[in-house]
């Protein structure tokens, strides 16, 4: 579906030979591949650049990633400390505390920056886990067909109709409270859509003649799946991951807000939960509620914008989009 003109291990050298002067056959294959990859990345970037929303999302993400990585130097680990909190409880925004303080007197701006680390980590890892499970299931189901496919897809369907959040809540309740539990809970509840997508793509790929040729040459199941199918579904998986991250971040915030996260870890959802527990809603302390909520929304937006752009670059058949 995507990159149809680039089958892996092509029998005939493509037009991209202009970069190499082929010193030897083995080395030239490898450098050829590298060159082609470079070219396709460059082509991808050229096409990606045309999506303004995608670029905006990417810029936002870069900024956020820098903030999150630099948080220990920007705000310091001390920002989480309740015993060394600098302010009074629930102070409104001021020069010293641009976003006010929480009920322990900690700076909300500092907590917001610090919380981005957990929100991003959980979002990335949970989406990666979810997509990994989905890809594995999807490729297996698409490759084997028959009763294996039927059985695996019925399980997938079962997970698909289960309300994700309810399942995640149950998991997070049963397991001990930690960041890893949340990652696991999100990961194992959101994979079915990826599995279905990947299975469809696998079936499409496997109907191509070169798969038949590989089979004829003696390629086993494992070889076919890892060498021929997987590279072809990767673009789809990449797009799905990017989109999945925003969902995972929202789910993480939701779980933390529901009090199912690790209470000693600062995250955006956890901040919302703390705000609710302090009664910030009814007492009108909007500066406690709004920043983490907006931050969650913005990050989810940024990831979605990127995901959409990636998707439409890799899959031109999706139609118009900017």
Partner 1 sequence: MITTAHHRSPGPALFLRSRAGRRPHPLLRLLLAVGIAAPTLIAGPPQAQAQTRAEAQAWPRAQAQAPAAVPGTGQLMDSPASAVGTRVRADEGNSDGKTDGKDDKSNGDGKTGAGNVLTVAVSQSVDSLSPFLAQRLVSTSVHRLIYEYLTNYDPRDARPVPGLATAWSPSADKLTWTYTIRKDSTWSDGRPATAEDAAWTFGRMMKDPGAATANGSFTANFAEVTAPDPETLVIRLKKPQATMTALDVPIVPKHIWEKVGDFSTFNNDTRFPVVGNGPFVLTDYKVDRYIRLRANKNFWRGAPKFDELVFRYYKDGDAAVAALRKGEVSFVPHLTPAQAASLKNAENIQVNDAPGRRFLALATNPGARAKNGGRFGSGHPALLDPVVRRALFHAVDRQTIVEKVFQGHAVEGEGYLPPRFSAYFWKPAASQRIAHDPAKAAALLDEAGYRRDGSGRRLGKDGRPLDFRVLCHATDPHDKAVGKYLREWWGELGIGLRVVCLDNVSDPWLKGDYDLAFDGWSVNPDPDFVLSIHTCSALPATPADTGATDNFICDERFDRLYAQQAVEYDAARRGDLVRQMQSRLYDTGFMNVMVYPNALEAYRTDQIGSITTMPEAAGNLYGQDGYWSWWSAEPAAAGGAASDGGGSSPAVAIGIGISVVLVIAVGILTSRRRRATADDRE
By CB under 8 A, tell whether 313 contacts partner 1: no
Among 9, 40, 62, 321, binds partner 1 (CB under 8 A): 321
Q: Does the footprint of partner 1 cover residue 276 (CB under 8 A)?
A: yes
| Per-residue buried b or exposed e for 131-168, using 16+ beta carbons within 10 Å of the residue's own CB | bebbbbbbbbbbbbeeeebeebbeebeebeeeebbebb
49 CB-near residues (< 8 Å, 6+ apart): 55
Which of 139, 246, 291, 314 contacts partner 1 by CB under 8 A? 246
Q: Quick one: which of 141, 185, 250, 314 contacts partner 1 (CB under 8 A)? A: 250
2 binds partner 1 (CB under 8 A): no
Stretch that binds partner 1, among 19-27, 121-129, 141-149, 166-174 (CB under 8 A): 166-174
Pick the stretch among 35-43, 107-115, 147-155, 303-311 that binds partner 1 (CB under 8 A): 303-311
Neighbouring C-beta atoms of residue 54, cutoff 10 Å? 25
Which CB atom, from 143 or from 196, has the smaller least distance to partner 1?
A: 196
Q: Least CB distance from residue 115 to partner 1, whole Å?
A: 14
For partner 1, the closer CB: 36 or 47: 47
4 binds partner 1 (CB under 8 A): no
Nearest distance from residue 247's CB to partner 1, in Å? 5
Q: How big is the site for partner 1, counted in residues (CB under 8 A)?
A: 71
Question: Applying CB under 8 A, which part among 24-32, 65-73, 79-87, 151-159 lies near partner 1?
Answer: 79-87
- Please give the residues from 88 up to 147 whose contact with partner 1 meets the rule CB under 8 A: 89-90, 103-105
User: Can you list the pairs that 254-259 forms with residues at least 24 positions away whose Cβ atoms lie under 8 Å?
Assistant: 254/165, 255/168, 255/169, 255/172, 255/182, 255/185, 255/186, 256/182, 258/169
> Given candidates 10, 92, 284, 316, which one binds partner 1 under the rule CB under 8 A?
284
Phi then psi for residue 146, to 5 deg, are 60, -150
- Of 48, 45, 52, 56, the closest CA to residue 302 belongs to 56
Burial of 68-106, coded b for 16+ CB within 10 Å and e otherwise, reads beebeeebeeebbeeeebebeebbeeeeebebbbbbbbb
Q: Which two tokens stand for residue 67?
A: 């903030």
Q: Which of 96, 29, 56 is nearest to 304 (CA)?
A: 56
Instruction: Please report whether residue 14 would count as binding partner 1 according to CB under 8 A.
Output: no
Site for partner 1 in 200-229 (CB under 8 A): none
Nearest to partner 1 of 232, 246 (CB atom): 246
Site membership for partner 1, residue 232 (CB under 8 A): no
């Amino acid at each position: 579906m995507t990159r149809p003109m680039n089958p892996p291990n092509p029998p005939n050298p493509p037009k991209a030979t202009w970069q190499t002067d082929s010193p030897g056959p083995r080395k030239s294959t490898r450098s050829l591949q590298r060159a082609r990859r470079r070219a396709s990345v460059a082509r991808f970037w050229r096409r990606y650049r045309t999506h303004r929303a995608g670029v905006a999302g990417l810029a936002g993400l870069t900024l956020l990633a820098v903030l999150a990585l630099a948080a220990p130097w920007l705000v310091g680990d001390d920002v989480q400390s309740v015993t060394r909190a600098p302010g009074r409880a629930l102070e409104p925004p001021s020069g010293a505390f641009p976003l006010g303080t929480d009920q322990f007197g900690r700076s909300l701006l500092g907590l917001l920056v610090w919380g981005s680390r957990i929100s991003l980590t959980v979002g990335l890892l949970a989406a990666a886990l979810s997509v990994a499970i989905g890809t594995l299931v999807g490729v297996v189901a698409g490759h084997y067909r028959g009763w294996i496919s039927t059985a695996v897809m019925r399980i997938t369907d079962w997970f698909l109709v289960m309300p994700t959040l309810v399942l995640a809540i149950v998991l997070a309740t049963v397991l001990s409270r930690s960041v890893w539990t949340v990652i696991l809970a999100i990961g194992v509840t959101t994979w079915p859509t990826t599995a279905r997508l990947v299975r469809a793509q696998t079936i499409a790929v496997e109907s191509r003649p070169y798969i038949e040729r590989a089979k004829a040459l003696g390629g086993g199941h494992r070889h076919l799946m890892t060498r021929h199918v997987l590279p072809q579904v990767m673009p789809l998986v990449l797009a799905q991951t990017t989109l999945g991250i925003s969902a995972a971040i929202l789910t993480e915030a939701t779980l933390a807000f529901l009090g199912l996260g690790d209470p000693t870890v600062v995250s955006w959802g956890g901040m919302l939960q703390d705000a609710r527990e302090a009664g910030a809603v009814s007492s009108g302390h909007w500066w406690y509620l709004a920043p983490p909520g907006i931050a969650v929304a913005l990050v989810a937006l940024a990831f979605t914008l990127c995901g959409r752009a990636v998707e439409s670059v890799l899959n031109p058949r999706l139609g118009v989009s900017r």
